[in-house]
C-alpha cells in the first residue's frame, strides 16, 4: 500500500475524466449515430469509475495514515471545497439565476448556500442546478461523511460482499419508495426530473463506492498471487463487459433491480482497477493518463466550464465552431474531443497548481499546527 503503488490510482482517475469528457463532447455531434455513439454515451459512467477509485484511495489512506475522523474530514474538506466553491462562483456568473433543466423556476440564494454546504444532493431541483455536474461532488462528500463508519464495519471480504448486496437492496427499495411517493413529496416537480434525481443521489450510488472496498481487499490480499495470464484475461473480460453493458442496459432490472446499471459498471471498473494494480497492462498506466488523473478534479469542473462558455459565446454570435448554426457528426467529434482535452488540461493545470495543491498543503499545515499545539499542551500539563 506504499506510495509507489499509487500510479494506477492516478491512471484510474485519468480514464474516468476521459470518459466523462468524451460523453459531453459528443453532445455537440448530434448527427453521429451508431455503435460508436452508443459506446461513447456510456462515458457518463466515468463518474462511477471516480467513485470506485475514491473509495479505494480512502481505504488505503485510512489504513496507512491512521489519521482519525477529525483529520480525515479536514483533509477531505481542503481537498474538495476550495475548488468547488470557485466553481460555484464561476457557474453562477456564467449561467446566472435563470431557469434550467434541474431548476425549471431558476435558482436563488438558497440553491447557492445549500450547494456550498454540499447538501444539494438531497433534492431534485438542487442536486446539480448551480454547478454543472455538481451532483457527483455532493454524492462524493456524502460518502466522505459516512466513510469512517462504513470502514468500522467493512473489515474484509465477507463484510464487503455483504455490504454490497445490502446496499443494492437498499438502493432498490429506497428508489421504489420515493418513486411511488413522488407526488406527495415533490408535487410540483416533473416525473422526468424526479427519475433523474433518484438515479443520481447517494443511496443509488452507494453500491458503487462499496466496490472500491472490494478492490481494496483484493489488492491487499490477492495482488501478485494470480498468474499473469489470468489477470490479463480478467482485464480483457472487464473491458468487454463494459462495452457489452452499453448495449444491454438492464442486466437485471432498472426500477426494482438488485444490481443497478451503476453497480454493474462499478463491478467492471473494480476488476479493471485490480488488474491495473496487479500490473496486468503497464502500458495503460502511462505518464499522460496519470497526469490527467492528477488534475482530474479541476478537469471535471473546467470541461463543463469550457463547454458552457462555448455555448454562451455561440448564443451571443461568437461561434467559430458553428455550434449553434450547424449539426455535426463523427468527424467533428474526432476534432472537438482532443480540443476539449487540451483546453481543459491547460486550465486544470493552472488551478491544480494555484488552488488545489496550496489548499491541500494549507489543510495539512493546519492539522500539523493543531497536533503540535496539542503535544505542547500535554507536555505542559
Cell numbers for 339: 480540443
pLDDT band at residue 378 using 50, 70 and 90 as cut-offs: low
Choose among 228, 229, 216: nearest CA to 273: 216
- Which of 309, 339, 330, 292 is CA-nearest to residue 18? 292
Residue 4 — pLDDT band, cuts 50, 70, 90?
Answer: very low
Residue (of 310, 314, 207, 300) closest to 19 by Cα position: 300
pLDDT > 80? residue 376: no
Distance CA 97, CA 213 (A): 39
Neighbours of 110 (CB within 10 A): 9
List the beta bridge partners of residue 103. 100
Grade residue 163 by pLDDT with cuts at 50, 70 and 90: very high
Cα within 13 Å of Cα(81), Cβ side: 15
CB atoms within 10 A of CB 345: 20
Contacts of 266 (CB under 8 A, 6+ apart): 48, 51, 52, 207, 208, 211
Task: For residues 274 and 259, give the distance between their C-alpha atoms in angstroms, rounded to a whole number.
Answer: 20
Residue 2 in this model has a pLDDT that exceeds 50: no
Query: What is the structure's pLDDT at 222?
Result: 86
Amino acid at each position: 500500500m506504499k506510495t509507489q503503488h499509487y500510479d494506477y490510482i492516478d491512471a484510474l482517475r485519468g480514464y474516468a475524466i476521459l470518459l466523462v469528457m468524451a460523453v459531453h463532447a459528443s453532445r455537440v455531434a448530434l448527427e453521429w449515430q451508431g455503435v460508436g455513439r452508443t459506446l461513447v454515451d456510456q462515458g457518463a459512467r466515468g463518474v462511477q469509475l471516480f467513485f470506485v477509485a475514491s473509495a479505494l484511495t480512502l481505504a488505503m489512506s485510512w489504513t496507512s495514515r491512521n489519521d482519525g475522523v477529525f483529520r480525515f474530514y479536514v483533509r477531505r474538506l481542503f481537498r474538495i471545497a476550495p475548488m468547488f466553491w470557485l466553481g460555484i462562483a464561476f457557474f453562477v456568473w456564467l449561467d446566472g439565476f435563470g431557469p434550467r433543466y434541474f431548476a425549471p423556476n431558476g435558482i436563488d440564494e438558497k440553491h447557492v448556500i445549500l450547494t456550498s454546504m454540499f447538501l444539494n444532493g438531497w433534492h431534485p431541483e438542487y442536486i446539480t442546478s448551480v454547478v454543472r455536474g455538481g451532483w457527483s461532488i455532493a454524492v462524493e462528500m456524502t460518502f466522505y461523511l459516512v466513510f469512517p463508519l462504513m470502514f468500522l464495519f467493512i473489515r474484509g471480504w465477507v463484510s464487503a460482499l455483504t455490504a454490497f448486496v445490502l446496499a443494492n437492496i437498499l438502493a432498490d427499495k429506497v428508489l421504489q419508495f420515493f418513486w411511488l411517493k413522488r407526488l406527495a413529496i415533490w408535487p410540483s416537480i416533473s416525473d422526468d426530473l424526479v427519475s433523474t434525481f433518484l438515479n443520481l443521489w447517494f443511496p443509488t450510488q452507494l453500491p458503487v463506492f462499496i466496490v472500491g472496498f472490494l478492490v481494496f481487499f483484493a489488492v491487499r490480499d490477492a495482488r501478485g498471487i494470480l498468474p499473469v495470464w489470468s489477470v490479463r484475461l480478467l482485464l480483457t473480460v472487464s473491458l468487454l463487459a463494459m462495452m457489452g453493458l452499453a448495449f444491454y442496459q438492464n442486466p437485471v432490472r432498472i426500477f426494482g433491480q438488485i444490481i443497478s446499471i451503476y453497480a454493474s459498471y462499478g463491478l467492471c471498473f473494480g476488476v479493471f482497477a485490480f488488474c491495473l494494480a496487479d500490473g496486468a497492462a503497464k502500458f495503460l498506466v502511462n505518464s499522460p493518463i496519470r497526469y490527467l488523473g492528477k488534475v482530474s478534479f479541476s478537469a471535471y469542473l473546467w470541461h463543463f466550464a469550457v463547454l458552457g462558455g462555448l455555448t454562451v459565446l455561440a448564443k451571443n454570435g461568437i461561434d467559430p465552431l458553428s455550434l449553434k448554426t450547424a449539426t455535426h457528426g463523427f468527424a467533428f467529434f474526432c476534432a472537438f474531443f482532443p480540443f476539449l482535452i487540451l483546453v481543459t488540461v491547460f486550465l486544470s493545470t493552472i488551478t491544480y497548481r494555484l488552488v488545489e495543491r496550496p489548499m491541500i498543503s494549507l489543510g495539512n499545515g493546519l492539522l500539523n499546527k493543531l497536533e503540535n499545539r496539542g503535544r505542547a499542551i500535554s507536555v505542559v500539563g
